[in-house]
Amino acid sequence: MSVIDELLHANEAYAAAFTKGSLPLPPGRKVAIVACMDARLDPARALGLEEGDAHVIRNAGGRVVEALRSIAISQTLLGTEAVVIVHHTDCGMLTFTDEVIRRRLRQTLSADADHVSFLPFSDLDASVRDDIAIYRSSPLVRKDIPVRGFIYDVRTGRLREVDASRA
């Protein structure tokens, strides 16, 4: 059985016991979370969330610049009133540069990705501060709500807040 078939099988069991079909569209906790797509980070479990509690926006590195469109929709149309940014230890984004991935894409797919910024970083705390600064400088998002950034430790499951005063 392929992994996709396994997922579909698991969905059958999930759907058979599903009881949350009447949840409202806006998130109940009125929070949007921007987090890395890393499989070792489960934002809902790490933050004690259930279906319907939050908008969880995920991408490589948990980068805010890629999430601004979703955050704007979340705030403007669905009423979120707080933003949490979560990066994590041992992140793959710490392991390459734009040039490394561009070269690999040229070699493996004959693809020209010179126009793409893959947004890698070399300093975890600085990446969170940078994302808070990007959020604060965007005209698309609210400035009157709390925005806080954290680093999730993949070995302990704990969050550590990043001092955003330097952002």
CA–CA separation, 105 vs 109, rounded Å?
Answer: 5
Kindly state the DSSP code that residue 143 receives in the 8-state scheme: S
> Does 38 carry a binding-site annotation?
yes
pLDDT tens digits for range 4-34: 999 999 999 999 999 999 999 999 999 999 9
Q: Is 105 inside any structural domain?
A: yes
The edge-to-edge listing of strands for the beta sheet with 159-161 is 54-59, 31-36, 83-88, 147-152, 159-161
Per-residue pLDDT at 164: 84
Any domain includes 150: yes
Relative to beta strand 31-36, strand 83-88 is parallel
Predicted structure pTM score: 0.93
The per-residue pLDDT for 165 is: 80
Which tens digits make up the pLDDT trace of 142-152?
999 999 999 99
130 is in an annotated binding site: no
pLDDT of residue 4: 95
Evaluate whether 85 touches 150 at the Cβ level (below 8 Å): yes
Q: Scanning the structure block, which residue is given the tokens 């330097």?
A: 166
Domain of residue 41, residue span: 27-166
Could you tell me how many residues make up the chain?
167
Establish whether 42 is an annotated binding residue.
Answer: no
CATH number at residue 149: 3.40.1050.10
Residue 99 lies in a domain: yes
pLDDT given for residue 52 in this prediction: 96
Closest CA to 62 of 32, 93, 94, 35: 35
In the chain, the number of structural domains is 1
Give every residue of the chain whose pLDDT is below 50, as ranges.
Answer: none
